[in-house]
Structure 1
């Protein structure tokens, strides 16, 4: 890309960075993106797909595959610690995961498509809402307009701190873990703290459940992890024996089948302990992410693109433990999710001082452009 084009994308990235929106509330960010794409003249635009999502469609004259390139619209509820001039101006919100940079990269792909139209098939540039909460991809897929743009291939990247800038990180099969939030509510009976025998405190059961959940993965085959992230017992009232408790935990596995087993075993463990203490229970789940699984042919397209561009590649053996809701697209379409190194000394994702490095934007645009060239030109 020309230097002035890169500067345009950096300006867009910094503008988005200053004005982050949280999951399911990305209307202002979507408006900025839509304004940017107006002069790029996509053949069609699908507005508010899956919520605040946007799909920009570029069509070739000949028949061919539909290729989807996806990025994320949402930021995080994290206060940014930065001295940069483009620091977030929205209190308690920030782009400390790099979605602003991902959006700029896909905007650059739009600039490339406007200058060099594809010859066959279609390219869908999807700006997906609510990735951070694991809701957005599923909402897009369930949107009644999605079947019209269902891709033959779907690609996405994520910047990866800890890897050299512009290095392409690849893996066949599972790339990122499945995860879900488990919420356990225990119901006992309050009493005066002077007479706990008149009530039924969930305190001991709560302690057993916390210990049991964290030990449960030891009995599983393959990778699994349960992290208790929050526990609340009763109220701050020194004259009252508690009658209720809530435990929140995150479950993680590398594949969806193991997640089903872990979920079942965790539920059974909680039920047994609660029953032995004569407690009522309610279990619910939130922020569920499917495992992000790479298709072999889609993987080959990215690997070949990296070679054509003479980019350094890193082939990893184990999936990442974090989750990505791009895995929802993996269920019904051949997908490929890969990493773009954002620097060995770059702060980690979700750190309060993370800021996407603009020096990797051109590489992101180039590799998506090359993938499209291989499939749609």
Structure 2
């Protein structure tokens, strides 16, 4: 019950890789330099096949094992966030307005570590497909790669991924069968009335009042239209309108994020949002232009894949440090698109209880975690496809 010795031996190299990636963040689908860095290392490791520019800047590396067997996919995301870093670290971002605030530099490093070990040892049957994906934070790079036929092209039978999790002890794992991350949708509403002088409101149709009422009314969906046994978040996150304190504006707007786990709840909340907003608009005499954008679907783990992944995690960290039925997260993940096409599992890996959380300007991936993640990926391949 420990990290793989060989991976522990090159943990220092993984720290170097990770800190280089941290200092050179890229956004969205434009992870070209990151992909080139990955490709250079895969070549050095002796990976058998390297396929580039899948989903714009995605990379798939293939390592052949000993004899016939299925192809297992391992995925890491590569992109950063459009944030200004505030860590003050020596390896801090060198690109203003960009930083690896979600640990994707660490995810890429862990998969590179597994690739190095698996290419050296090849103590498995079949093949491993190393999936380095852009644009998890925005654009849905996983969908781009899947839409280009990645799963069929490489004959991927199952697919697995890890995500670091601050607030949990280093090297602990948790996951759950079924939905583990929510679907994420976006609501944008523009409300149009009739502007005028604020001293004469009777001559206007006030969109501000309507927006305030709509924002309050949509909160009733969770409390009154949803079973207490289900999960749903409707969070209004932006609101705006007006240019001066003595002018009632012509229009105002608000936006919200909507998180759910099942198709039934997802359909219900979309329908009720339209009904509530249109009803409020009618009562105030305004018009409401509703834009409801469907985003990433829920991330749904295959129960059998969870059992297999949890057993491997227990080998690495011990049974008491692995939770295989931990519960759901209301965050979202575009790995969902890969799990829609193939069975697999998504797991969280604890990176320590100290330090900032993900998507915070003071966040930094904990390099002590990388050998755990690389060992998990490597041992998973050896256990799923034993020689």
Q: Same fold (TM over 0.5)?
A: yes
Distance 1:170 1:250, change over 3 A: same
In 1, Cα distance between equivalents of 2:149 and 2:134: 16
Provide the residue aligned with 2:276 in structure 1.
269
Deviation at 1:164, TM superposition (A): 0.7
Equivalent position of 1:135 in the other structure: 140
* Structure 2 residue 342 is matched with structure 1 residue 337: no
For residue 106 of structure 1, what is the aligned residue in structure 2?
A: 111
Cα shift at 1:280: 2.9
1:162 is matched with which residue: 140, 163, 167?
A: 167
Alignment match, 1:203? 208
Identify the residue that residue 227 of structure 1 maps to in structure 2.
Answer: 235
Provide closer, same or farther for how the CA distance between residues 359 and 132 of structure 1 changes in structure 2, counting only shifts above 3 A: same
Using the TM superposition, give the Cα deviation of residue 62 of structure 1 relative to its aligned residue in structure 2, in angstroms: 3.3
Which moved further from structure 2: 146-155 or 18-27? 146-155
Which shows bigger deviation, 201-210 or 56-65?
A: 56-65
5+ residue gaps, structure 2, are 1-5
Summarize the Cα distance change of 1:347–1:50 in structure 2 as closer, same or farther, 3 Å threshold: same
Q: Tell me if structure 1 keeps the 8 A contact 2:22–2:105.
A: yes
Q: What's 2:3 paired with?
A: none
Instruction: Tell me the TM-score normalized by structure 1.
Output: 0.93
Cα RMSD of the aligned pairs, angstroms, is 2.0
Q: CA deviation at 1:192?
A: 4.2
Q: CA deviation at 1:183?
A: 1.1
Shift of 1:132: 0.9
Greater mean alpha carbon deviation, residues 290-299 or residues 140-149? 140-149
Residue 305 of structure 1 is matched in structure 2 by 312
Does the 8 Å CA contact 2:124/2:382 hold for their aligned counterparts? Answer: no
> Which structure 2 residues correspond to residues 224-373 of structure 1 after superposition, within 5 A?
224-234=232-242, 236-238=243-245, 240-286=247-293, 288-311=295-318, 312-373=321-382
Q: Identify the range of structure 1 (207-216 vs 354-363) with the bigger mean alpha-carbon deviation.
A: 207-216
Give, in angstroms, the shift of residue 283 of structure 1.
2.2
SS in 1 for 2:345: strand
Q: Alpha carbons of 1:256 and 1:21: their partners in 2 closer, same or farther (altered >3 Å)?
A: farther
Q: Deviations over 1:39-84 (max 9, x none)?
A: 1232222212122211112233533222111111111112211132
1:358: how far off? 0.6
Supply the distance in 1 between the matched residues of 2:152 and 2:195 (Cα, whole angstroms): 52
Alpha-carbon separation, structure 1, partners of 2:37 and 2:292: 34
- Give the alignment's TM-score, normalised by structure 2: 0.91
Stretch deviating more after TM superposition (354-363 or 54-63) = 54-63
